[in-house]
Amino acid sequence: MTPTIRCATLVALAAASALLLPVWLAVGLVLAVLGAAAADGLAVRRAPRVQRDLALVLSRGVETPLRVRALAPDGRRVLLRQPLPAALSVDVVAGRRNLDGTLRAARRGRHALPGVANASVGPLGLARWHHPDAAEGEVLVYPDLRTARRLALALRLGRAAPDGRLRRGPLGLGTDFESIREYAPDDDLRQVNWPATARLGRPMTNQYRVEQDRDVLCLVDTGRLTAAPVGAATLLDVALDATAAVALAVDELGDRCGALAFNATVIRELAPRRLGGRRVVHGLFDVEPEQVDTDFERAFVTVGRSRRGLVIVFTDLVDEAAARSLLEATPMLARRHAVVVASVSDPRLEDEAATAPRDLDELYSMVAALDVVEARAATAARLRRAGADVLQAPPSLLPERCVQAYLRAKARARL
């Protein structure tokens, strides 16, 4: 229990009254105020029921409503406050009896959500009784699925396919069932649908399409470089946003999607399969960066044994040692697969490298930025000579650019 400002003001006035009244009377007034404050606090010592309405599965960067209600049998004032970890933010942190705000997650993964702190103010407004916080919860924050679903919807509507429509492959001796039609003399007897023939009284045959589904693998680097901040997020958060966009696009076009999260070792491996995009999103949403150097060769050896497909490697090209490991391992992967190396570019860094300095500090900043930009360009050129395509885009554009790279590879039959 703590006194309120009103209580402190009354105590100060009662103490000051000693200048005009007898001391014993001033002391009595102070004790009376303190006694009233104690009784005021005890009147609201029973905790109200706090109800919090919040979706426990969120998407990074997408706003979600947060509603907190204090349900008390009397008309007391209840002060509410929602503490949050650094990865989450809300526009309204505190409220009286009701708290209505919008929650936004800057980082994906599993985050502990503290209970709502609440305190009741007595009827006289002299004391505040603090109650134990409500139970903690856990919030699961997935990558930016809103952007991923928007890109997948564009594919479904035919606006983002290479030729304006989605192809399903030609009719032929495949295994992708299409329909049932009447039997023709040149049809294979193995394709006769005997139950349909018996039901209709005339020969019927199954019609199939030749499979054109291909393997798409997303290799996500979770080494020390991916912990670098990009605004409120990290490089790994942005990479997983792009991974989710590619995974849902692959599902939309009927290809097989898989993923591999790795650093010094392989952390999680999801083999490619039909409609595997959602499995990839669920399987990688909570991986976190680790302060270790990345071993690209180990990851590429794991992928190299699989059938030919498109491999998108999400990493950063800043560190010279990490780039050297990537350059040495890329030819081994490019011999069997179509390889795209995707990384986040920083437009502000490029602008700083191209801006004429006005003082010595800006000169130092320009030189440092220029070194980073030139190192990235040199690494990208060497990766292209090693047989990989290099894709660099700002964080907001990386998901769309990766989906476009997948569509180009599919249109050129590189998978």
CB 185 within 8 A of CB 214: no
Mean pLDDT of all residues belonging to the chain: 85
Distance CA 55, CA 260 (A): 29
Return the pLDDT at 413.
59
- Of 332, 166, 145, 158, the C-alpha closest to 246 is 145
Beta strand pairing status for 109-113 and 137-142?
Answer: antiparallel
Listed in sequence order, the residues at least 6 apart from 365 whose beta carbon sits closer than 8 Å to its beta carbon are: 352, 357
Which residue reads 């947060």 in tokens? Answer: 66
Tell me which amino acid residue 287 is.
Answer: V
Return the pLDDT at 163.
44
Q: Which residues pair with 354 in a beta bridge?
A: none
Q: Which residues pair with 103 in a beta bridge?
A: 64, 90
Q: Indicate the length of the chain as a whole number.
A: 415
CB 341 within 8 A of CB 391: yes
Query: Per the structure block, which two tokens stand in for 62?
Result: 């997408």
Which 8-state DSSP code applies to residue 225? G
CB 82 within 8 A of CB 116: yes
**pLDDT tens digits, 319-342:** 666 788 888 889 988 888 999 999
User: Can you say how many angstroms the Cα of residue 239 is from the centroid of all Cα atoms in its chain?
Assistant: 9
Cβ burial, residue 154 (10 Å; 0-12/13-18/19+): middle
At residue 45's C-alpha, the angle toward residues 39 and 51, to 5°, is: 145
Return the pLDDT at 175.
55
Distance CA 305, CA 200 (A): 48
Distance CA 396, CA 192 (A): 52
Q: Which residues pair with 137 in a beta bridge?
A: 113
Domains of the chain: 1-142 (2.60.40.10), 145-165+212-411 (3.40.50.410), 171-209 (no CATH)
Distance CA 176, CA 238 (A): 35
Give the chain's residues under pLDDT 50.
162-166, 169-172
Distance CA 114, CA 364 (A): 44
Instruction: Name the H helices within 186-312.
Output: 194-200, 235-253, 277-284, 296-304
Query: Per the structure block, which two tokens stand in for 219?
Result: 């290799």
375-383, long-range: CB < 8 A, 24+ apart: 375/317, 375/318, 375/320, 375/323, 376/317, 376/318, 376/343, 376/345, 379/317, 379/323, 379/326, 379/327, 380/317, 380/341, 382/327, 383/326, 383/327, 383/330, 383/341
Query: Per the structure block, which two tokens stand in for 120?
Result: 């009741």
